[in-house]
Amino acid sequence: MSPQAGWILQEEIVPRLRGAIPRTVKCVGCEDAQELIQDATATAAKMLDSAEAAGKSVTPGNIAYYAIQAIKSGRRSTGSSKTDVMSTGTQLTGTTRISSLDEPAAMEGELGGEQLTFNDVLSQDQEDPAMIAARNLDWQSLMARLTEQEKAIVTFVLEGRTVSDVALVFQVSRSAMQDTKNRLVQLIQEFMGVDILVEVRRVPGWRNDMNTNRERLACRYERRN
């Protein structure tokens, strides 16, 4: 694009886009007027550059008009797919509809008068299934190396019972069984890693990504309103 075309884009076309888009173009989803103006500016720049390369004479008004029409129809500078479920054009045609996770979920009956959102219905507090499967494999390898007393300690602790219960079953003193438990703790840390307690409490990456996206969309909504 030549300097003259760049000046026309900045001084003649962009002001037209800023004046018309907030009044005439419908925002879709989390879009806002400023975002649409930026997208229309990129579209207008492509049109102006193509016309200049082809040696055609165009007016700033024509470029602004067709850029606005493209935005209205759902076309964006990044693409104009009508099959992508997240595409603006697909949503404008009514093929798909994006719903907020904070919208009330239609439920049959009532749960004590509590109103659930889609986020409550779809979310779960369990960690990543892949992490659970990997940890189970590690536990199987570890359990194969343990003695009968050490295996019993693991089983009794999972059942909510105490070391004294294990000592009673094996007919040994509690202090001896406590020593066995301490050795077991050290063995688990060496096998699983010293940060195993941190790992089991870590929030899965996919959930962090989802929370980040929700916060970004919420910020956009607040700016629009």
Domain residue extents for the chain: 3-92
Alpha carbons 141 and 191: distance in angstroms, whole number: 10
Confidence (pLDDT) at 45: 92
Angle value at C-alpha 70, between 65 and 76, nearest 5 degrees: 135
Q: What separation in angstroms does the CA of 60 have from each of 19, 48, 64?
A: 14, 9, 6
Query: How far, in Å, CA of 26 to CA of 14, rounded?
Result: 18
- Distance, CA of 61 to CA of 220 (rounded, Å): 30
Prediction pTM value: 0.45
What is the structure's pLDDT at 111?
A: 47
Whole-angstrom Cα distance, residue 213 to residue 86? 14
| Rounded Cα gap, residues 117 and 120, in angstroms | 5
Residues 32/37/40/41 CA torsion (nearest 10 deg): -150
Asked whether 116 and 105 are in contact (CB, 8 A), the reply is yes
73, β-bridge pairs: none
In Å, what is the CA distance from 132 to each residue of 126, 137, 204? 9, 9, 11
What's the pLDDT score for residue 137? Answer: 86
pLDDT one digit per residue (tens) for the chain, 225 residues: 788 888 999 999 999 999 999 988 888 777 788 999 999 999 999 999 999 888 888 899 999 999 999 888 888 887 777 677 667 777 777 777 777 777 776 655 544 556 667 766 666 556 667 777 877 888 888 888 888 988 888 888 888 888 888 888 888 898 988 898 888 888 888 887 777 666 666 666 656 666 676 677 677 767 776
pLDDT of residue 81: 72
